[in-house]
Homo-oligomer: A and B are copies of this chain.
Amino acid sequence: MKIPLLGTGSTAFGELWHYSIPDLISEAQHAALQSAHLTADAIDLIIVANMGAELWSGQGHLGALAAETIKSSAPALRIEAACASGGVALATGIMAIQSGMAKTVMITGVEKMTDHPAGIVNAGLMTACRNDVEYMAGASFASLFALVTRHYFDTYHIGRKELAAVSVKNHAAGYLNPKAHLRKKITIDDVLTAPMIADPLSILDCSPVSDGAASIIIGSPDYHRSPISIIGSGQGIDTMSITTRPTLTSFSATQKAVAQAFGMTSLTPEDIAVAEVHDAFSMAELIALEDLGFCQAGTAHQHVGTTKALINQSGGLKAKGHPIGATGIGQVIEIAQQLHICKQQKPNTPHYGLTHNMGGIGTTVAVHLFSIT
């Protein structure tokens, strides 16, 4: 597989109270078109990734909305796969290219969440879990990940201090990212003394509630060229409810998705220079590093900031922000930028990147691999 990435564009991520959903979509789309040197009439298919616009903005039918914002009448649809909506939308866009039914596909992720109090946002996020199990039990996403974290702590004998290193690293990266939601360096002590959200996770172990949009344009290799290509695509699914899992210290959906993506290439995790992984909670990054094959199970805390692949240089979900539908597409944009920097630094060697986007507690995972030539 070699699918050219033709253009990218995004809003800043953050509390964008002066933007509506159409405003967010439009800004990201037009930036992507400009970056690809294309006009809207070149787009054969419009895909929107979004989780909760009906709940949080009273707006659905986002495929048609995203056609309207670029004055297109191309086929348009919205994909939802909870927090993995962006990654799954990219996988679907790739299918559209490979089917021959579209030469050029625009994929725009968007979410607008910060207008609401935490209770409304949390209830919306919980639609990613079984309503009749986790939601009815009164759980929140933070409380579920707290259970995962406690189980991981007990299994591998680490504690909050080791975990805190993830957030410190990601905030240091986000400080340098002009589009990041939280541009503030933090210390281990900040994490350990921050208000507790769901023990053992403090607020500095949790990604923020953000607004934002990110848009990419991909094309058929028969019609388009680009230095950046998508060379692998994998998806994994596990049960929605964590009550049915054999383990909570790893996520089989990530393992399946990454195996499928690498299976399309001759690469291994050792070949990856830059990766954006789904750190909705700091614990999710440790588990992702292990499931993605960057280190052995139970050892990720020893490798925070020292993996061969640079992890979450954007700031990750923790510091860059987590506007749900936009997150997976934003990861792609970050990896494209990072690969360009790799290439500038070492022009004569190949460079590879990876994105890891997760929905639910390890329920839906999409992994994509990228190259620059």
Task: Name A residues whose Cβ lies closer than 8 Å to a Cβ of B.
Answer: 20-22, 51-55, 57-65, 67-68, 72-82, 88, 91-92, 94-102, 123-124, 126-132, 135, 235-241, 252-253, 256, 359-360, 363-364
Minimum Cβ distance to chain B for residue A259 (Å): 12
| Complex contacts, A59 vs chain B, CB 8 Å | 127, 130-131
Q: Which residue of B lies closest to A238 (CB)?
A: B73
A64-B359, A65-B240, A364-B63 as given contacts; A123 in contact with B58, CB under 8 Å: yes
- Docked complex Cα distance between A239 and B129 (Å): 34
| Complex contacts, A359 vs chain B, CB 8 Å | 61, 64
A237 near B128 with CB under 8 A, answer no
B126 near A58 with CB under 8 A, answer yes
- Docked complex Cα distance between A77 and B236 (Å): 11
Closest A-B pairs by Cβ, 10 of them = A60-B127, A75-B235, A98-B99, A99-B99, A61-B82, A95-B99, A59-B131, A61-B128, A58-B131, A78-B80
Sample of 23 A–B contacts (CB below 8 Å):
A21-B131, A22-B132, A52-B54, A52-B60, A54-B124, A60-B127, A61-B81, A61-B82, A63-B80, A63-B88, A63-B237, A64-B82, A68-B239, A73-B236, A73-B253, A75-B235, A76-B81, A77-B79, A77-B81, A77-B88, A78-B81, A97-B99, A99-B99
The quantity of this chain's copies bound in the complex is: 2
Q: Which of A20, A60, A67 has the most CB of B within 10 A?
A: A60
A54-B52, A237-B75 as given contacts; A61 in contact with B101, CB under 8 Å: no
- Docked complex Cα distance between A82 and B48 (Å): 13
* Partner of A60 from B22, B82, B88, B95 at Cβ < 8 Å: B82
Minimum Cβ distance to chain B for residue A232 (Å): 12
| Complex contacts, A74 vs chain B, CB 8 Å | 237
Minimum Cβ distance to chain B for residue A350 (Å): 25
B81 near A64 with CB under 8 A, answer yes
* Partner of A100 from B98, B124, B236 at Cβ < 8 Å: B98
| Complex contacts, A123 vs chain B, CB 8 Å | 58
| Complex contacts, A91 vs chain B, CB 8 Å | 75
Q: Which residue of B lies closest to A52 (CB)?
A: B54
* Partner of A98 from B75, B79, B101 at Cβ < 8 Å: B101
A61 near B98 with CB under 8 A, answer no
- Docked complex Cα distance between A22 and B21 (Å): 30
* Partner of A57 from B88, B94, B131 at Cβ < 8 Å: B131
B101 near A95 with CB under 8 A, answer yes
A92 near B77 with CB under 8 A, answer yes
- Docked complex Cα distance between A237 and B64 (Å): 7
- Docked complex Cα distance between A59 and B356 (Å): 24
